[in-house]
């Protein structure tokens, strides 16, 4: 199975558990402005994604993440042998 497909499937499940739809333009919504997420919940979402995917993001790379699409793109950039 394609590792990117596995990441996307698990990520979609985690986002869904947080009430975030990844379909259509919603994947481009800003976490704070459009999705009204508190930074604590954003950190929880990131932690849950790292846990479920068994991939870890360096803190400095998270500074530019503002949308679900940005966050998923970061996970897809990580080598799978991490």
DSSP 78: S
CA distance 82 to 42: 23
The chain-wide mean pLDDT, for the chain, equals 92
Domains and CATH numbers, the chain: 3-77 (1.10.1200.10)
CA distance 4 to 37: 26
pLDDT for residue 81: 61
By the 8 A CB rule, do 50 and 42 touch? Answer: no
pLDDT reading at 80 higher than 80: no
Residue-wise pLDDT for 21-51, tens only, equals 898 888 999 999 999 999 999 999 999 999 9
């Amino acid at each position: 199975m394609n590792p990117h497909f596995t990441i996307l499937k698990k990520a979609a499940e985690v986002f869904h558990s947080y009430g975030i739809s990844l379909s259509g333009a919603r994947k481009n919504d800003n976490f704070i402005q459009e999705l009204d997420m508190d930074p604590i919940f954003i950190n929880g979402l990131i932690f849950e994604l790292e846990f479920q995917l068994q991939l870890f993001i360096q803190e400095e790379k998270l500074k530019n993440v503002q949308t679900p699409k940005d966050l998923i793109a970061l996970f897809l950039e990580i080598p799978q042998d991490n």
